[in-house]
Structure 1
Amino acid sequence: MIIPKSNSIWNEFLYKQKSILFFYNWWNFAAIIDYKWNTFGRVYYYLIWLFYTIFYICYSLASTLEQNSISDFYFKLLFIISIIFASIFLIFEIRYCLWNYKIYFNDFWNLFDVGAYLLSIITSTFWLINKSPPLWFTAISIILLSFEFLLFFRVFKSFGIYFAIMIGVAKTVFPFLVLLFFIVLGYAQAFFIVLRSNSINDDNDPWNIATKYNFINSDGTINNNITTIIQDPDSNTNLFNWFFTSLLAVYNLLTGDSGSLSLFTYREHPTMTILLVTFTFFTV
Structure 2
Amino acid sequence: RYPMQSRPPLPPRGQPPQEEEYAPPSGPPPGFHQRQQQNRSSTAGAPPGFPAVPNEPPPAPSAWNEHFFYSNGRPTPVFQAMMKEFFKRLDPRGTGYIAPEVFSKFMEINHFAPDDDVWRRNHHGNLMFAADDMADYELKAAWEAWHFDHKVVVRNARAKQLPYGGMPMLSLNGFIDVMAVEIAAEPDDRIGGLNNALRHYGVWTERGPVPRHVLPSVRAPELQRRVDAAVARSHQAARERLDATEAQARIEARGRQAALDLISDYRYRYY
Range class of TM-score, shorter chain: under 0.3
TM-score if structure 1 supplies the norm length?
0.22
Larger Cα-atom Rg: 2
The structure in which a higher percent of residues are helix is: 1
